[in-house]
A and B are shown apart, each in its own frame.
Chain A
């Protein structure tokens, strides 16, 4: 009797096993195709195919790119605006050159160094410092595991304005002086472009660090 009970139990278990939906054996990595579903499969939840934690990376990446592009635009605008201001100031200075000054012309770079530093260099440096602060705010979101924050270097080639050294400081040379300074500041290899390139490189480094 005990044996009969065991045999019946065995057959019952075997029948239950054979009646089980074959899809319940899978880990659920493949999607369920077709329109028909059974109660068994409806009861089994379908696992996600993608990790939602990657969303934070997508968002952070976008913030870096936005910082990069806004900084590039601000640096470009700052360069243009400060150059315009400098040009007007230079014209006023040239108009005010005395007769003595017209005869014994000072080299333009010596005459304009102070004005260049206060009206262009300090202004652009200010924009770069603000960009660094904005970057620091962005960086702080990475938490304790953040690596060393890259900095925008305050590097100024031709700080002595040798590009206009050979121009005498007189009204007739206003065009040449401003052209020289414009190329120095806003040219394709100018100061603004150098700062912008730094910003692009920093953003690239930061994105590489968050990319899988």
Chain B
């Protein structure tokens, strides 16, 4: 297995993307002439530690706009962090990605880390509780109880994933967690389908919180499979996730929500970016497989990267 992976930076590809020689599709770059994949965009551990606060506080994708995050020097971040965020924003913009929504599912494979994902669930837990009680979207008491219960279970599983490295054989634990999270993801997907079908004007906040719960479950599932080097299964799961996002989200348009204007436009853009990123994730996993890159090593190298929030995994 290859244990040292070399990355480059997005800025190296900017000129080729602008000129049209490289085409950006989801989280990868493709040569326009030959059609071959050239590089995969990959976030590092630094990326989530930077934008974590922004995303945790997001009630809707409006706060995920690139321009919003770029002016994040509001006291939450240090000067160095603001520069790193700007670097990340510039990297995304150079690749024509306009929202940070992709970070919800992990650009490339998720290196958010189980601690961060656990914090995400804590945040979701509080928000959804309030939202369900105030939104008249037809949730009955039983449904509310089940939703809270599944959020707690998902949160518990992510906590167990954090603790898995202390086991003698963590791979069994990761596999168990991945299986269990598949069930949780299925529940959140069902709730989302219900919210989408039951309303002409979907409550954007409730939709976004449920979508995040679904996306976090799926990210962590795939993460667990990659950590145990089950790359084939990780790819199959990633393909299934992409397919489910396409079916679920492609029916949403700027007039689907209970809000209009900038908020709904940005929500739809973020959803499309997220779906495309999920659709190209299998190609990254396929690259890890064909190049015999050890999954655990790959994730560890990305988690330890503390200088560059965005990296490019060169394929060509």
How close is A43's CB to chain B, nearest CB, in angstroms? 12
B25 part of interface (Cβ distance < 8 Å): yes
- Interface 9-mer from B113-121, B213-221, B278-286: B278-286
Q: Map CB proximity to A onto B14-29 as digits: 1 under 8 Å, 0 otherwise.
A: 0000000001011010
Please, which residues of chain B bring their CB within 8 A of the CB of A188?
Answer: 200
Q: With A31-B289, A37-B292, A73-B265 as given contacts, are A52 and B235 in contact (CB-CB < 8 Å)? A: no
Separation of A27 and B250 alpha carbons in the complex (Å): 37
Q: With A31-B232, A49-B289 as given contacts, are A55 and B272 in contact (CB-CB < 8 Å)? A: no
Residue in A32, A50, A73 whose beta carbon sits within 8 Å of that of B254 in the complex: A73
The number of chain B residues with a CB under 8 A from chain A is 37
Is there an interface contact between B30 and A69, defined as CB atoms closer than 8 Å? Answer: no
Q: With A62-B272, A65-B272 as given contacts, are A52 and B255 in contact (CB-CB < 8 Å)? A: no
Q: Map CB proximity to A onto B81-97 as digits: 1 under 8 Å, 0 otherwise.
A: 00000000000000000
User: Which residues between 263 and 316 of chain B lie within 8 Å of chain A, taking CB atoms?
Assistant: 265, 268, 272, 276, 279-280, 282-283, 286, 289-292, 294
User: Which residues between 49 and 79 of chain A lie within 8 Å of chain B, taking CB atoms?
Assistant: 49-50, 52-53, 55-56, 58-59, 61-62, 65-66, 68-69, 72-73, 76
Q: Which residue of B lies closest to A42 (CB)?
A: B292
Is there an interface contact between A50 and B283, defined as CB atoms closer than 8 Å? Answer: yes
Residue in A34, A47, A58 whose beta carbon sits within 8 Å of that of B290 in the complex: A47
Separation of A204 and B252 alpha carbons in the complex (Å): 11
How close is A72's CB to chain B, nearest CB, in angstroms? 5
Count how many pairs of residues, one from A and one from B, have CB atoms less than 8 Å apart in the complex: 83
Separation of A47 and B292 alpha carbons in the complex (Å): 11
Separation of A65 and B25 alpha carbons in the complex (Å): 14
Is there an interface contact between B253 and A50, defined as CB atoms closer than 8 Å? Answer: no
How close is B56's CB to chain A, nearest CB, in angstroms? 28
Is there an interface contact between B290 and A48, defined as CB atoms closer than 8 Å? Answer: yes
Is there an interface contact between B254 and A69, defined as CB atoms closer than 8 Å? Answer: yes
Is there an interface contact between B37 and A49, defined as CB atoms closer than 8 Å? Answer: no
**14 further interface pairs, Cβ-Cβ under 8 Å (given A55-B30, A58-B276, A68-B253):** A46-B292, A48-B286, A49-B232, A49-B289, A50-B239, A52-B36, A52-B283, A55-B35, A55-B283, A58-B26, A59-B25, A61-B250, A65-B272, A72-B253
Is there an interface contact between A66 and B272, defined as CB atoms closer than 8 Å? Answer: yes
Is there an interface contact between A72 and B254, defined as CB atoms closer than 8 Å? Answer: yes
A35 part of interface (Cβ distance < 8 Å): yes
Is there an interface contact between B289 and A46, defined as CB atoms closer than 8 Å? Answer: yes
Is there an interface contact between A58 and B279, defined as CB atoms closer than 8 Å? Answer: yes
Separation of A200 and B229 alpha carbons in the complex (Å): 42
Please, which residues of chain A bring their CB within 8 A of the CB of B35?
Answer: 52-53, 55-56
Please, which residues of chain B bring their CB within 8 A of the CB of A32?
Answer: 292
Please, which residues of chain A bring their CB within 8 A of the CB of B37?
Answer: 52, 55
Taking each of B239, B268, B291, which has the highest tally of chain A beta carbons within 10 Å of its own beta carbon?
B268
User: Which residues between 233 and 252 of chain B lie within 8 Å of chain A, taking CB atoms?
Assistant: 235, 239, 246, 250-251
Separation of A72 and B251 alpha carbons in the complex (Å): 13
Q: With A62-B272, A200-B253 as given contacts, are A50 and B286 in contact (CB-CB < 8 Å)? A: yes
Q: With A52-B35, A69-B268 as given contacts, are A59 and B232 in contact (CB-CB < 8 Å)? A: no
B107 part of interface (Cβ distance < 8 Å): no
Separation of A98 and B28 alpha carbons in the complex (Å): 67
Is there an interface contact between A30 and B280, defined as CB atoms closer than 8 Å? Answer: no
Is there an interface contact between A35 and B255, defined as CB atoms closer than 8 Å? Answer: no
Is there an interface contact between B276 and A35, defined as CB atoms closer than 8 Å? Answer: no
Please, which residues of chain B bring their CB within 8 A of the CB of A48?
Answer: 286, 290
B231 part of interface (Cβ distance < 8 Å): yes
Is there an interface contact between A58 and B250, defined as CB atoms closer than 8 Å? Answer: no
Task: Show 20 residue pairs from A and B whose CB-CB distance is below 8 angstroms, ordered by the A residue.
Answer: A31-B229, A33-B229, A37-B1, A37-B292, A42-B292, A45-B290, A50-B282, A52-B35, A52-B283, A55-B25, A55-B283, A59-B25, A61-B250, A62-B272, A65-B250, A76-B254, A193-B255, A196-B253, A200-B253, A207-B250
Separation of A59 and B279 alpha carbons in the complex (Å): 10
Please, which residues of chain B bring their CB within 8 A of the CB of A30?
Answer: 232
Q: With A52-B36, A52-B37 as given contacts, are A58 and B25 in contact (CB-CB < 8 Å)? A: yes
